[in-house]
Amino acid sequence: GENVEQHPSTLSVQEGDSAVIKCTYSDSASNYFPWYKQELGKRPQLIIDIRSNVGEKKDQRIAVTLNKTAKHFSLHITETQPEDSAVYFCAASIRRDLGNQFYFGTGTSLTVIP
Amino acid sequence: KAGVTQTPRYLIKTRGQQVTLSCSPISGHRSVSWYQQTPGQGLQFLFEYFSETQRNKGNFPGRFSGRQFSNSRSEMNVSTLELGDSALYLCASSSGGGTASYNEQFFGPGTRLTVL
C-alpha cells in the first residue's frame, strides 16, 4: 500500500521567515495531494492541495510543489506569522473503485516565534 | 451548509467495554471516512463508507467496525477496548462519488476516547 513520510516532525522559525515541510510517497498511482492544518484542539482543515497533473500551486503565502518523478511534494509558507503555528499534515490520495483513499503523513508541528 | 458533526465529543471507557461513535456528514455528502489520530502516528485510516457500503478499509483489527445509514450518517464501533485504543477519532465527509478523482475531505471535530 501507499506510505507517506513527512519531515521534519517539528519546526521552529522566526516570524517573517519561511517554513518548508516535505513529504514523500511510494505509490505512483497517488494523484491528489492535500495539505491540512490542525490548530490545537481543532479539526484538520484543508489549506491547499495539488493534483498530479500540476507541478506547483500558490495561494497567497502558501505554495505547494510536486515532483512526480521523485515522488515528493512540499509545503512552503512564506512570511510566517504566529497564527501559522499548528500541526500540518500532508496526504496522498489514490483512486480506488469509485472513491479516493487518503494516506496521511505523521504531521509537522510548526512553531512561529514572534 | 452545516459542517461535519461528531458525537459524543468525549468518552471515557474501561478495558473490555465497547463503544459506538457517530458522525453526521455535510448535507449531500455520501462518503464518510474514519481516522484514528494519536500523537506521533498522525492520522491512521480506518475505513470509508459510501452509500451504506464499506468501500475501503485500513489495517485495523476486526474489533473496529462501522456502518452507514441511508441518510449517510455513519457509526463506528470498537469492541473489547484496549488501552491502546485511546485516541482522537475523526471522521471526514466528502462528496465521494462519480468519476471525480479529487474529492476534498471535510473533517469533524473528533471524539476523544480515553480507555482506562
Task: Express each pLDDT in B64-103 by its tens digit.
Answer: 999 999 999 999 999 999 999 999 999 999 876 554 556 7
Tell me the C-alpha to C-alpha distance, in Å, between residue B72 and each of A70, A96, B9, B32, B48.
38, 20, 19, 8, 12
How far is Cα A113 from Cα A82, in angstroms, rounded to an integer? 7
Note whether A99 contacts B45, CB cutoff 8 Å.
no
Residue A38 bridge partners (DSSP): A87
- Average pLDDT, whole number, for chain B? 90
pLDDT of res. B77: 98
Task: Tell me the three cell numbers of residue B31.
Answer: 462518503
Note whether B35 contacts A104, CB cutoff 8 Å.
yes
Helix (H, G, I), strand (E, B) or coil at A112: strand
Contacts with A99 from chain B: Cβ below 8 Å: 31, 48, 50, 55-56, 94, 96-97, 103
Tell me the C-alpha to C-alpha distance, in Å, between residue A62 and each of A56, A74, A80, B86.
11, 11, 10, 34
Rounded to a whole number of angstroms, the distance from the CA of A91 to the nearest CA of chain B is 9
DSSP letter, residue A83: G
B38-58 residue pLDDT tens: 987 788 999 989 889 988 888
Q: Does an H or E element contain B32, and which?
A: strand B31-38
Tell me the C-alpha to C-alpha distance, in Å, between residue B3 and each of A34, A71, A95, B23, B52.
19, 33, 24, 11, 20
How far is Cα A33 from Cα B73, in angstroms, rounded to an integer? 26
| Number of other CB atoms surrounding residue A3 within 10 Å | 11
How far is Cα A110 from Cα A85, in angstroms, rounded to an integer? 5
A70-101 residue pLDDT tens: 999 999 999 999 999 999 999 998 876 666 77
Residue A13: half-sphere exposure toward Cβ, Cα within 13 Å: 23
Contacts with B72 from chain A: Cβ below 8 Å: none
How far is Cα A114 from Cα B20, in angstroms, rounded to an integer? 43
Contacts with A103 from chain B: Cβ below 8 Å: 45
SS (H, E, C) B61-97: CCCEEEEECCCCCEEEEECCCCHHHCEEEEEEEECCC
